[in-house]
Amino acid sequence: MLGTERLFEQALGIAAPWAVRQVRFDAAARRLTIAVDFAAGSRFAHPAHPGEHPVHDTQTKRLRHLNFFQHDCHLEVRVPRVRLPDGKVALVEPQWFGRLAGFTLLFEALVLALAREMPFAAVARLVGESWHRVHAICERYVELAVAELDLSEVRALAIDETSSRRGHNYLTAVADAAQRRVLFVAEGRDAKTVGELVAHLRAHNATPEQIDSVSIDMSPAFIKGDRVLAQRPHHPGSSPGQALRQVPRRGACLGGGRCHAPAGAEDRPRPEGAALDAAARPPAAVGRQSRRAGRLDRQRGQQAHGARLGLPRATARGARLQARINVVRAMLAQWCTNVMRSKVTPMKEVAQMIRRHFDGIVAWTQTRQTNGFLEALNGLFQAAKRKARGYGRFRTMRTVIFLIAGKLDFARLNPHAA
């Protein structure tokens, strides 16, 4: 049968020259303390100089380890300081020491796994540590992992903003559109932020010239800053849909046709959402509605009025099927012209927006790249903020975003981290 010390050596994965010297259990305090020491006469390697070096003196370090059943477990380790050939004295820590002082690698791996699924306060309660120490572990790993990022293969970026606190406080998140992982988080949402992104790319084996496409918010500040990058395919998002909701419900706006209104329709109540429903119907249903409206006009001898408003639902649907960029450009330009000749003010605003970002939107029809991934991430982050009753500092929010969506490789820093 193994002795107590030998049993804990195997459980901890400790090997020579390290050994468990004593085990103390305090039932009242619900604490297990394991004293770890090294054999007399041992020599240790140090990364600053090759070879093994003699021990000069020692220091005792106390580390938090995984719980022993329901009891807190701590290691008390006598750590050597070795004398190097140049006369300097340096501390040598065992390989199972954590990245943050006071913890083992196994304990830090547990904290990282929990912090990806719940707020820091909940993790702190589970592991019996303070909020600040839990956050410090996560922040340390995020900073080390981000510092090791290699962005040399990144070709497409998605950029979006999210509110950091009440008022006009924002932060900007940038993701690799292909890998769907966050690469960069900065405070603010202006052209300066894009400049910081460029510096981040250069610091991680990348250049602005290698970026083929960027999906960004329609913010003028973002677009101004994005001039330092390559192409700028934009997507109109929900603007057409928002505009349609403002169209007066006087008749059914038919995709690719005209907005027909029977005589007296201005004074007659229309079913709620009729205009929107007609615009959203599939082509077959729209065609039937168009024929019915035409027959009604002929019977009553009334002249139809309105404008051709088939935007994205009809025009863009057909444009997506076209392989040639000139066809897409011509169809979108014609739609904008039709809308500007109409009397539907909300849709005119959409047409003006499309004209301002015309080249970018045409490019989007080829790349199909959007920042929908980051918009979904924004929802996850806002939910995390509510669950944590708010994150007050930018550093904390940056750490949380990288934990949720950074796909960082912590295994290089900690072999126990998934």
pLDDT digits (tens, 9 = 90+) for 304-337: 334 344 444 445 444 444 446 677 778 888 888 8
CA neighbor of 157 nearest in space, from 200, 119, 107: 200
Q: Please report whether residue 408 resides in a domain.
A: no
Q: Please report whether residue 78 resides in a domain.
A: yes
Decide which of 198 and 357 is more confident.
198
Q: Rounded CA gap, 215 and 367, in Å?
A: 10
Contact predicate 140/132, CB 8 Å: no
92 — pLDDT class (breaks 50, 70, 90): very high
Q: Please report whether residue 31 resides in a domain.
A: yes
Q: Rounded CA gap, 390 and 393, in Å?
A: 9
pLDDT value at residue 347 = 81
Q: Please report whether residue 182 resides in a domain.
A: no
pLDDT value at residue 256 = 38
pLDDT higher than threshold 70 for residue 285 = no
Q: Of 367, 388, 412, which residue constitutes the final position of a domain?
A: 367
193-222 residue pLDDT tens: 888 999 999 999 999 889 888 877 655 544
Give the pTM: 0.69
Q: Is 207 helix (H, G, I), strand (E, B) or coil?
A: coil
Q: Please report whether residue 380 resides in a domain.
A: no
Q: Of 97, 114, 143, which residue constitutes the final position of a domain?
A: 97
Q: Of 367, 382, 400, which residue constitutes the final position of a domain?
A: 367
The predicted model gives 57-73 an average pLDDT of: 94
Decide which of 233 and 55 is more confident.
55
Q: Please report whether residue 113 resides in a domain.
A: no
Q: Please report whether residue 397 resides in a domain.
A: no
Structure tokens at 41: 């006469």
Domain membership of residue 314 as a residue range: 239-367
Q: How many domains does the chain have?
A: 2
Which of 169-183, 284-298, 368-382 has maximum average pLDDT? 169-183
Contact predicate 101/77, CB 8 Å: no
- The length of the chain, given as a count of residues: 418
Reported as half-sphere exposure (CB side, CA atoms, 13 A), residue 151 has a value of 31
Q: Please report whether residue 211 resides in a domain.
A: no
